[in-house]
């Protein structure tokens, strides 16, 4: 990673923001629009090229419907995996889910039609 701000905490803040965006199904463009952060600034911050201000985290958290203190609290926990550069632009969904993913009772989905 060629990022200037490579601290694990900064990477976990990025991961918290990106994971929340994905969980809520909000597009990057919509998040940028809702937060009021300039597009170029958003991408530089998410790549770790420039640092977040508390105002940035506040704006992004509010745009995601989150308390900014929760973003910082969650990012302070070591179990959050850092995001690799460019990950927040990728769709990590598999092309095909196993049949068991469509059942709500934990069985293998053998009774589902083909």
d(CA 111, CA 99) in angstroms, rounded, equals 10
pLDDT along the chain (114 residues), means of 10: 68 93 96 97 92 94 96 81 46 40 44 46
- Check residue 91 and give its pLDDT: 39
Count of C-beta atoms within a 10 Å radius of residue 101: 9
- 9 in Cβ contact with 75 (< 8 Å): yes
* Superfamily (CATH H level) for 1-77: lambda repressor-like DNA-binding domains (1.10.260.40)
Q: What is the pLDDT, as a whole number, of residue 45?
A: 92
Distances in Å between the alpha carbon of 77 and those of 13, 58, 61, 74, 80?
Answer: 10, 19, 17, 5, 6
- pLDDT at 101 (0 to 100): 39
Per-residue model confidence (pLDDT) at position 7: 80
How many CB atoms within 10 Å of residue 3?
16
Per-residue pLDDT at 24: 95
Cβ burial, residue 60 (10 Å; 0-12/13-18/19+): buried
pTM value surpassing 0.75: no
Q: How far apart are CA 103 and CA 100, in angstroms?
A: 5
């Amino acid at each position: 990673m060629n990022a200037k701000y490579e601290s694990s905490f900064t990477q976990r803040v990025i991961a918290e923001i990106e994971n929340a965006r994905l969980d809520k199904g909000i597009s990057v463009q919509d998040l940028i629009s809702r937060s009021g952060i300039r597009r170029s600034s958003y991408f530089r911050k998410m790549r770790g090229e420039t640092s977040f201000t508390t105002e940035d985290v506040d704006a992004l958290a509010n745009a995601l419907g989150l308390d900014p203190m929760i973003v910082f609290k969650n990012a302070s926990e070591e179990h959050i995996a850092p995001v690799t550069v460019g990950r927040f632009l990728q769709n990590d969904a598999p092309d095909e889910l196993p049949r068991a993913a469509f059942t709500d009772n934990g069985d293998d989905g053998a009774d589902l039609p083909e």
